[in-house]
Each structure stands twice: as structure tokens, then as C-alpha cells.
Amino acid sequence: MTHAQPCAQPAPRSPFGFVGRAGRAARALTTAASALALAVGALTLAPAPAHAADPITTQEYFSYYYLDAAREKGYTGKGMTIALIDGPVDTSAPELAGANIVDKSRCTIEASARGKRHAIDMAAILVSPYTGVAPDATLYSYQSSNVDSISAGSCETDGKTLDSFGTLINQAVEDGAQIISISQGAPDKSDELKWAIANAVAHGVIVVASAGNEGKDENSSHLSKWSGVVGVSAINTDGTFASYSSWGNGVVTAAVGGPFNTRDPETNQPTSGKGTSISTALVAGFLTLARQKWPDATPNQILQSLVHTGLNPNHEWNQYTGYGAIDGGGLVIDDPSQYPDENPILNKPGGSSPTAQEIADYGDGIIDPTTNRKVPDSYVYRGIDDQVVLHQSDLKTPLHLGTSPRYHRK
């Protein structure tokens, strides 16, 4: 199957007054996506001089996006909180020394060596003092099991699953995270997850999720399919679409997916990897910097800026790179106050859930909890339906009848 090749376009500015390599190279548009299958975080051995105990202090994306200049300008994520839903983060990893990481897990999974390494790598991209996009941000980590895990550990007891994406997204929202980064597949199509996404969007928490690494349309099995979620695909450092990257109607942007310096999960020896997991954490980091730079902007305006600074010609959407590969510098310097306070990624091509109306109803507290039993326990019903009162004893959610802001808007 043949697709259009990337075309040239004017290089955007870096946030620091010069044309950055990210602007010159990140031109991933509608290029070919082969059927190469590559698992998330898959590694290929590469020689490196570092000792196994040494921290990983260099990454190609760091120079690609001129993150040293970002730090000099004070764009470090200070005051921001990122939630990472992944395996358990081993904070003793040398590259995480000094990072502000708090384990907010509800339970403990039994992770594989591969899962543990993946979590370390995602945390390092986000907040490592050496190579993190937002090294001064606080990282809340939430353990979640997946197909690579040895077992769900204490996260699955008495028939209850405590580490579902819906549960953990709701917890991250309650814990005060501004950005949620998830580099995991998610075939879950439950109402619990639907209303968790609605909860995040209604509270202005931006969820960033990977598109997959199977080199095909994986929209139906990843979180990127949901309304309001920033789906992320991968590009190479020459700006072309990565052959391993999946795509689909949920993709909003793309970022460099490798090469990425890491360690073999079994031997702890230096190796190299690539994947949309890496791209996702990078995008989450850049959105964190944008929220730090523009604290008075709404999350909707930050997302408007993400869409309007995408590197596709005229920021036109396609299923491979969304509105275009992320221009990290452009996103940070672009004043989001010029855009409307409207979420631009609710109604994704082909339709997506929850709908814009459902999210608005959720935010105004008029979703009926008696017929939507999977709304979070933190949800407050503010409507006027007397039938809800009749079932009050069966509900976990509180009722504040007649207090919906919708009744008071002009």
C-alpha cells in the first residue's frame, strides 16, 4: 500500500529565537507505514561505552528538540504534576536520581523485568534531571498490569480490578494531575473508561496516549480512540513517519519515537529501543511545559495551540500524524489565549465517544447516575430529576439537586 511522501514546509521557530532541528526535520505528514510489527518498548542491542550502573545522560530527542535551551529559559515543568499510568517506577534507577516521583498506586502488581524497564524509561523521558522534558515537574506514578506483567498482584482481589485505566484516570484527576501519560494498549471499551475520560476532560486534565507499534490501524485497541485523548504516533529523526508506528482516527500528533537509549531489562546492559511509547511521553512533557508557560490558558486553549502548531501543511489532519508532528518550541511560545476555549479533539473523524454533549452534561452534573452506574464515585449529580432521588440509597455518588451551572447560564 503506497501513501504520499512528506513534503517540505517552512521551518517553525524554536522557543528560543532560532530555527531548531525539530522544525527542520519534524515533517511527518502522510508517509508510508509498513506492516512491520514491533512490540512496545522492543529493544535492539547497540554498543555503548557506559557501565550498567551509570545513569543514561544522553538521548537523541534531547538535542533534536533543543531541550537544553528550554531549560535555560526556565521551561522545566516547575509547579506542574504529571500522572504516569504504567508499570511500577523504580526510583532507584540512576537516571531518576533527584526526580520528584510519588507512587500513588492503589495496589501493587507483579511486573516483569520488561514492564519495570518500560516504566523507568517513561518516567525518565518525563522528569529525569538528565534527559527529562519537564525535569522540575512532579510525577505521580500509578501501577497498572498488562500482557507483559507476571500477575496483577494485589490489584485484582475479590473480583475487583483496582488498576483499570478507568479507575486510575479517575484517581489521577482527583489527585490533581494536569497531564496523564499512558503508553499502553487499551482494548477496554467499558462505560467505566468512557466516563473516566469524560471526567478528565470535564476537569481539564489532558490525557496523552500511544497509537501502538504494529504498523497498522490500531485505533480500536488504544486509548487514542476516545474523544479528548491526545493520540500519538511516531516519526523518525529525519521527519519521516516511522514504519513501526500504528495510526488511526484517534491520532492527534506525532513525535520522535527513537532511537532511545535504555537498558536491556534482563541484563541491564546498554541497548537501544524505539516506539510510540517514547513519542507519547515526549508529547506529554511538551504539553506540561506549555501549561507551565501559560498558566492562565485553559486546557482547551492549550489543545487548540497543539493543533494549530502541528507541522502538517495548514495543520490539516490525517490518520498518520494527526494535525502534524509536534513542534515543541512552537507549542511553548504560541500564545493560547488567541484561541477559543473549545476542545478541538472531541469529535474525532468517524465519530468518537464520549460525545461532546455527554462531556458537557457530565461537567454540568446532569448525567443520571441511576442509568449510568459506571460514573466515578466523585461525580456529583446536580440535576432535577425526582427519579434520581428515589434511587438515592442505591447510589455511591452524592446528590446536589438543582445546582447545575446549566440552570444559571444566560
Enumerate the domain spans of the chain.
21-338, 365-408
pLDDT of the residue at 149: 79
How high is the mean pLDDT of the chain? Answer: 86
With cut-offs at 50, 70 and 90, classify the pLDDT of residue 390.
confident
Find the mean pLDDT for residues 307-320: 96
Per-residue pLDDT at 1 exceeds 50: no
What residues form DSSP beta bridges with 247? Answer: 217
Q: Which residues fall within 8 angstroms of residue 155, CB to CB, at 6 or more apart?
A: 106, 107, 108, 109, 143, 144, 145, 161, 162, 163
Look at residue 193 in the predicted model and tell me its pLDDT: 94
* CATH code reported for the domain at 21-338: 3.40.50.200
CB contact at 8 A, 328 and 22: yes
Q: For residues 240 and 1, what is the distance between their CA atoms, to the nearest angstrom? A: 16
- The amino acid that residue 162 corresponds to is L
What mean pLDDT is predicted for residues 311-324? Answer: 96
Q: What is the three-state SS of 379-404?
A: CCECCCCHHHHHCHHHCCCCECCCCC
pLDDT (tens digit per residue) in 325-359? 999 999 999 999 999 999 999 989 888 999 999 99
Q: What is the pLDDT of residues 251-295, one digit of tens each?
A: 999 999 999 999 999 998 999 999 999 999 999 999 999 999 999
Q: Output helix, strand, coil percentages for the chain, rounded to the nearest 5.
A: 30, 15, 55
Strands 138-143, 81-86: pairing kind: parallel
pLDDT at res. 410 = 65
Average pLDDT over residues 35-59: 52
Tally the C-alpha atoms within 13 A of residue 44's C-alpha that lie toward its C-beta. 8
Query: Among the listed ranges 106-115, 288-297, 364-373, which one has the minimum average pLDDT value?
Result: 106-115
Nearest to 181 by CA among 230, 238, 216, 215: 230
For 44-64, give the secondary structure using H, E and C. EECCCCCCCCCCCCCCHHHHH
Rounded distance, CA 242 to CA 47, Å? 23
Check residue 351 and give its pLDDT: 87
Confidence bin at 22 (pLDDT 50/70/90): very low
Q: Which of 9-13, 62-66, 264-268 has the lowest mean pLDDT?
A: 9-13
pLDDT reading at 106 higher than 90: no
* Res. 188: pLDDT tops 90: no
Q: What percent of the chain has pLDDT over 70?
A: 87
The span from the CA of 395 to the CA of 54, in Å, is 53
Residue 19 predicted with pLDDT over 50: no
Of 42-46, 55-59, 232-236, 379-383, least confident by mean pLDDT is 42-46
Torsion of CA 30, 32, 35, 39, to 10 degrees: -60
pLDDT score recorded for residue 395: 78
- Reply yes or no on whether the pLDDT at 186 is more than 90: no
Grid cell of 46 as nine digits: 547497540
pLDDT-based confidence at residue 6 (cuts at 50, 70, 90): very low
pLDDT of residue 365: 93
Does residue 23 surpass a pLDDT of 60?
A: no
Query: Distance (Å, rounded) from C-alpha 343 to C-alpha 263?
Result: 38
